[in-house]
């Protein structure tokens, strides 16, 4: 697969990291294989997660093909870039085609990036996982690579204003050991194991993250269990459901 767009996009992103003094603590990058297909499964706390997760694959010289909402591909600016980087559009009303494309990419030796939570976690804790990563890995005959990202939500996350010019932000990326998937294994069991591994990785990232809030109003980016003021998982779930219903109503009346 020819990659003409991906390299300059990466170079531009790295330049912006330097300009904004965004620093990275990347752990476990050696777990991302230098060849062969895989599912890269990450938590989801920021609209920038796909950029940071892709950064973790750089030491292995791999390009990650992320599955993303098809609306991103329809945007006049992001659309050509997403298609040029061979990311995979997901139509929630017709997901079978996207699934087949992702499995085909993995069988062809590509790493496909997915967010098992499907949407950003407003609570900054893991939400309930979908089983798609497990099913894809089983169908493609590839492992799942669990990883987590932390810190990017301070730049841009759901329900908060963008602060993309914020300087000196620290990003933690922790990659776990590949999880082999038996084709005959129950996807729900594989998904539960994946969630356990990612929960441990997230706890490590949150525990070792070097920054702390400087004022009470800055505690919004910490989960409740760490003394932060982010929504509780229950409150976040209610907000997600209200958003889902509002979206469905807009489609109904369109």
Residue 229 lies in a domain: no
pLDDT tens digits along 4-49: 999 999 999 999 999 999 999 999 999 999 999 999 999 999 999 9
Residue 186 lies in a domain: yes
Residue 138: the pLDDT is: 98
Per the structure, the count of domains in the chain is 1
Residue 252: the pLDDT is: 87
Query: Could you tell me the CATH number of the domain that includes residue 161?
Result: 3.40.1130.10
Average pLDDT value for residue range 186-192: 98
Residue 223 lies in a domain: no
Residue 91 binned pLDDT confidence (cut-offs 50, 70, 90) = confident
Q: Which residues contact 220 (CB under 8 A, 6 or more apart)?
A: 160, 228, 229, 230
Residue 245 lies in a domain: no
Residue 88 binned pLDDT confidence (cut-offs 50, 70, 90) = very high
What residue numbers bound the domain in which 83 lies?
6-217
Residue 58 lies in a domain: yes
Residue 242: the pLDDT is: 96
Residue 156 lies in a domain: yes
Torsion (CA) 30, 32, 35, 36 in degrees, nearest 10: 150
Residue 237 lies in a domain: no
Average pLDDT value for residue range 116-121: 96
Residue 254: the pLDDT is: 75
* pLDDT for residue 115 is more than 90: yes
Residue 95 binned pLDDT confidence (cut-offs 50, 70, 90) = confident
Predicted TM-score (pTM) of the model is 0.95
| 2 or 150, greater pLDDT | 150
* pLDDT for residue 222 is more than 90: yes
Torsion (CA) 111, 117, 118, 122 in degrees, nearest 10: -130
Name the burial class of residue 214, with classes exposed (0-12), middle (13-18) and buried (19+) by CB atoms within 10 angstroms of its CB. exposed
Indicate the average pLDDT of the chain: 95
Residue 251: the pLDDT is: 84
* pLDDT for residue 94 is more than 80: no
Residue 85 lies in a domain: yes
Residue 147: the pLDDT is: 98
Residue 2 binned pLDDT confidence (cut-offs 50, 70, 90) = confident
């Amino acid at each position: 697969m020819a990659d003409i767009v991906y390299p300059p996009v990466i170079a531009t992103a790295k330049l912006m990291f330097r300009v904004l003094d965004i620093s990275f603590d990347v752990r476990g990058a050696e777990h991302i294989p230098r060849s062969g297909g895989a599912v890269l499964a990450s938590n989801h706390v920021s609209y920038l997660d796909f950029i940071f997760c892709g950064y973790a694959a750089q030491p292995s010289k791999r390009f990650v093909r992320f599955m993303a909402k098809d609306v991103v591909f329809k945007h006049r600016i992001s659309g050509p870039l997403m298609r040029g980087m061979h990311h995979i559009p997901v139509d929630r009303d017709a997901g079978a085609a996207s699934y087949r494309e992702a499995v085909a990419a993995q069988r062809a030796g590509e790493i496909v990036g997915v967010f098992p939570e499907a949407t950003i976690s407003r609570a900054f804790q893991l939400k309930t996982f979908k089983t798609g990563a497990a099913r894809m890995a089983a169908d493609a005959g590839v492992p799942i690579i669990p990883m987590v990202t932390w810190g990017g939500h301070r730049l841009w996350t759901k329900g908060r204003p963008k602060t993309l010019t914020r300087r000196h932000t620290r990003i933690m990326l922790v990659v776990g050991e590949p999880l082999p998937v038996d084709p005959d294994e129950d996807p729900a069991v594989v998904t539960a194991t994946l969630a356990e591994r990612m929960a441990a990785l997230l706890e490590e990232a949150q525990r070792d993250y070097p920054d702390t809030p400087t004022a009470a109003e800055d505690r919004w980016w910490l989960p409740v269990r760490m003394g932060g003021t982010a929504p509780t998982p229950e409150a976040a779930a209610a907000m997600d459901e209200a958003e889902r219903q509002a979206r469905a109503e807009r489609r109904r009346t369109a």
